[in-house]
Amino acid sequence: MSRKALLRRELLAARRLLTSRDVTDAAELLASAAAALPELADARTVAAYVSVGREPGTHALLDGLRARGVRVLLPVLMADNDLDWAVYEGREHLLPAGRGLLEPHGAPLGPGAVLDADVVLLPGLAVDRRGMRLGRGGGSYDRVLARLAAAGADPALVVLLYDDEVVTRVPEEPHDHPVHAVITPTAVRRFLPREV
């Protein structure tokens, strides 16, 4: 088993120990911290995701962004594991999808819709002190990050995590991209210099 796979297994096991209350409390703190992040406060379009299970919660954050008039794009998983995007129109418009995910029911906008985002909120399992992100291993967001880089797009890349998921080092591969910031329930950490 690779180092990435071992670390994923360990982090997912730790998440399974979280109670529903732990997840709810963390989600409220994450939404509050994210709302204060200048990149999100000034964003017109945010590409995000709907948290499921024990992932750091995004529901309150999505609703808060939408209430402020931000155009929120959510991923729609395609058969080849790439991501299409559709506009978030509220929780009542989310539909169950494959792999236990929730997706917007609106018309797909195409994989390139993410290029319009001022901020991309990325799911992850860990981020290290250099800003390298460890995802779940499906490669969907690696494709998104490659698409952004190829187009010369430069949105703020932000990951939402629990405090203990900011680690010393995650294994990386040549296709991995660093993120600009991580938000945890107790802190915001920045990694790459960026104008705010």
For residue range 101-123, list pLDDT tens digits in order: 899 998 999 999 999 999 999 99
pLDDT in tens, 62-98: 999 999 999 999 999 999 999 999 999 999 999 988 8
Structural domain containing residue 110:
3-190
Residue 152 pLDDT:
94
> Is residue 195 in some structural domain?
no
> Is residue 30 in some structural domain?
yes
pLDDT grade for 35, boundaries at 50, 70 and 90: confident
> Is residue 175 in some structural domain?
yes
94: domain CATH number?
3.40.50.10420
Mean pLDDT of 183-189: 95
**Number of separate domains in the chain:** 1
Decide if pLDDT at 193 tops 70: no
Q: Which residues, in sequence order, are CB contacts of 183 under 8 Å at separation 6+?
A: 30, 33, 34, 37, 158, 159, 160, 161
> Is residue 167 in some structural domain?
yes
Residue 192 pLDDT:
67
Residue 86 pLDDT:
98
pLDDT grade for 196, boundaries at 50, 70 and 90: very low
pLDDT grade for 54, boundaries at 50, 70 and 90: very high
The predicted model scores a pTM of 0.93
Q: Which residues, in sequence order, are CB contacts of 58 under 8 Å at separation 6+?
A: 27, 30, 48, 49, 50, 51, 121, 160
Decide if pLDDT at 194 tops 60: no
Alpha-carbon separation of residue 158 from 1, 8, 127 (angstroms): 28, 19, 10
**How many beta carbons lie within 10 A of that of residue 44, not counting itself?**
11
pLDDT in tens, 136-159: 888 899 999 999 999 999 999 999
pLDDT in tens, 3-27: 999 999 999 999 999 999 999 999 9
